[in-house]
Amino acid sequence: MSCNYADGLSPYENKGVLGIAEKFDSAEEIEKKINQIIEMLETSKHVVVHTGAGISTTAGIPDFRGPKGVWTLEEKGEKPNLNISFNDAVPTVTHMALRCLVEKGYVQYIVSQNIDGLHLKSGLARRYLSELHGNMFIEQCNKCRRQFVRTTAAETVGQKPCGGACRRSCRGGILLDNILDWEHDLPERDLDLAFMHSTLADLNITLGTTLQIIPSGNLPLKNKKHNGKLVICNLQPTKHDKKADLIIHTYVDDILSKICKRLGLEIPNYSHDEDPTKSPNDDNQEWTIPAQQVKEIEKLYNAKQKAASAQRKAGKTQFTFFTKKEPVISKKKRKAEDAADSDDGIERKVKNEK
């Protein structure tokens, strides 16, 4: 997402297709497609949004493969002009709109490839987010595996020591950045939740990603087996355009603004008071996914898969994974559940899809 991050990665030749020209739909096409998305959102039971570097460009953070992306310019021997640091970057309209859509029950989960920490800064609760490639503002103990929020961006990349001893004082534990390098496996709990939510979704929406990096780029297709829908919002063509039910070519901030306006939702402004990196307190400094959260979605996932398999064998129509809107969990209840789960250890091994 930024030059200093990209420069810290190990050398890697296969960075995908770079610098493809951007495309813009007409105003008339955009309005028509927004109406289609609204209808999908209002009728879908489980919506998952997949976010890429394109949602952070209006925060001043360059993308990777766009016409002025980090790797596109690198191939030309150039570097992008940066006018902001990770520490100073604030969430965009898209980040704040996604938080609003989650809190109002229109979106059930977000899967992000981004390491810039802007979902965290927006105030989005951890239980609604998988971060597949890490987060500049998170450090993780190499022993107890707990994750903690940093007030400044890590200066290291590739799971290196960055923060001293574990904040929970586990014996011998040291804090590492949790930003992946090319050779690292994806974080187990984040990947497991992302895979199951994406499979169970009757609607997957991608924002600002060309879907070239795997396995994250293939996750939005996981619901197609169960007749789920895929919406792609990106300025460039993507790897999976042919499999999409709807494609919108325009700025993601404009898309999310129009969606929220049509739904009668007011997008909240970014607030320092709700940003754990700016206003740390006892309740917002741990970023660990509770083991119980994984168990709950796994139980639902297995039950739905079993029911779907039985119906297919019986020759019945395709099984609908969700029969009612997912409930929105209040902040008070979420806080109580997270507190109860906070002492759970790592209890299960996730099947890591490459």
**Catalytic residue numbers?**
133
DSSP state of 248: E
Q: Is 144 flagged in the annotation as binding?
A: yes
First to last CA, the chain: 22
For 321, the token pair is: 């994974």
In the three-class reduction of DSSP (H, G, I as helix; E, B as strand; rest coil), residue 139 is classed as strand
For 247, half-sphere exposure in the C-beta direction (CA atoms, 13 angstrom radius) is: 17
Q: Is 100 flagged in the annotation as binding?
A: no
Q: Quick one: which of 83, 57, 75 has its CA closest to 1?
A: 57
Q: Is 166 flagged in the annotation as binding?
A: yes
Helix locations, 242-319, DSSP H:
252-262, 291-313
Tell me the three-class secondary structure of 8-33, residue by residue: CCCCCCCCCCCCCCCCCCCHHHHHHH
Q: Quick one: which of 217, 257, 251 has its CA closest to 235?
A: 251
Task: Give the integer Cα–Cα distance in Å for 106 and 247.
Answer: 19
For 200, the token pair is: 């169970």
Q: Quick one: which of 6, 276, 273, 231 has its CA closest to 118?
A: 276
Task: Give the integer Cα–Cα distance in Å for 270 and 7.
Answer: 29
Q: How many CB atoms lie within 10 A of CB 168?
A: 15
In the three-class reduction of DSSP (H, G, I as helix; E, B as strand; rest coil), residue 104 is classed as coil
Task: Give the integer Cα–Cα distance in Å for 142 and 140.
Answer: 6
In the three-class reduction of DSSP (H, G, I as helix; E, B as strand; rest coil), residue 296 is classed as helix
Q: Quick one: which of 276, 129, 127, 108 has its CA closest to 200?
A: 108
Residue ranges for the known binding site are 141, 144, 166, 170
Residue ranges for the known binding site for Zn(2+) are 141, 144, 166, 170
